[in-house]
């Protein structure tokens, strides 16, 4: 779904206020702030059953890449995790807790969603191929902030078309190439 399907062109009032029309609900919304998954203004645009806006899905790959940078640093330890089970989940939690200080942001992000780590460690699709675990965990985890299942997160990343990203950045008013997905403190 394209944002134009549910948000009409902006209506700019003489006093400078900007309103958008939520076409699917036939109501007006006062100017939208920068995108945040917790933003009530943006959540008002979600269709029933949606966890995230279609444009936000385009950035799951960026989040996965950012997480993978940290997880590659413990790749040797992850390579020994050949099957999914509770022990794998426990090892993941422990290894993430011991990430280098240079990956403190990723570590904090991962630890905020410990239940997702357990789900990934026990995921029946766990890859036993050496050198693939860091990427699998990162792609599985990218959608945790939105409550996505690990398989949904991986699938959404798989179908992303990079050419759609720039337009989505503009539509969601996301500052280019920041770590916008981090919860605001």
Q: In this predicted structure, what is the pLDDT of residue 154?
A: 93
pTM: 0.70
Strand order in the sheet with 27-30: 11-12, 18-22, 27-30
Give the torsion sign (CA, 148, 179, 41, 27): negative
18's enclosing H/E stretch is strand 18-22
Give the torsion sign (CA, 48, 49, 53, 55): negative
From 42, 33, 38, 136, select the one nearest 81 (Cα to Cα).
136
Q: How confident is the model at residue 5 (pLDDT cuts 50, 70, 90)?
A: very low
- Distance separating the N- and C-terminal Cα atoms of the chain: 31
Question: Is pLDDT at 46 greater than 50 in this prediction?
Answer: yes
From 154, 159, 164, 166, select the one nearest 63 (Cα to Cα).
154
7-35 pLDDT, tens per residue? 566 666 676 666 666 655 556 555 666 67
Between helix 133-141 and helix 114-121 the angle, nearest 10°, is: 130
Token look-up 């990218």 returns 142
Going from N- to C-terminal start, the domains of the chain cover 3-50, 60-158
Burial class (CB within 10 angstroms; exposed 0-12, middle 13-18, buried 19+) of 151? middle
State the alpha helices, DSSP H only, in the chain.
40-43, 54-57, 60-72, 75-78, 86-97, 104-111, 114-121, 133-141, 150-158, 165-172
86-121 pLDDT, tens per residue? 988 898 999 999 999 999 999 999 999 988 988 998
């Amino acid at each position: 779904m394209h944002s134009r399907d549910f948000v009409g062109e902006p209506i700019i009032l003489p006093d400078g206020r900007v309103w958008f029309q939520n076409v699917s609900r036939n109501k007006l919304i006062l100017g939208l702030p920068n995108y945040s998954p917790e933003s009530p203004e943006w959540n008002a645009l979600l269709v029933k059953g949606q966890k995230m806006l279609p444009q936000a899905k385009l950035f799951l790959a960026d989040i996965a890449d950012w997480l993978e940078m940290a997880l590659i640093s413990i790749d040797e330890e992850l390579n020994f995790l050949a099957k999914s089970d509770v022990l794998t989940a426990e090892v993941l939690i422990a290894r993430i807790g011991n990430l280098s200080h240079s990956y403190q942001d990723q570590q904090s992000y991962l630890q905020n969603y410990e239940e997702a780590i357990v789900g990934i460690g026990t995921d029946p699709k766990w890859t036993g191929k050496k050198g693939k675990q860091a990427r699998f965990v990162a792609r599985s985890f990218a959608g945790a902030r939105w409550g996505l299942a690990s398989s949904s997160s991986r699938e959404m990343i798989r179908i992303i078309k990079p050419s759609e990203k720039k337009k989505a950045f503009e539509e969601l008013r996301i500052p280019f190439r920041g770590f916008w997905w981090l919860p605001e403190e």
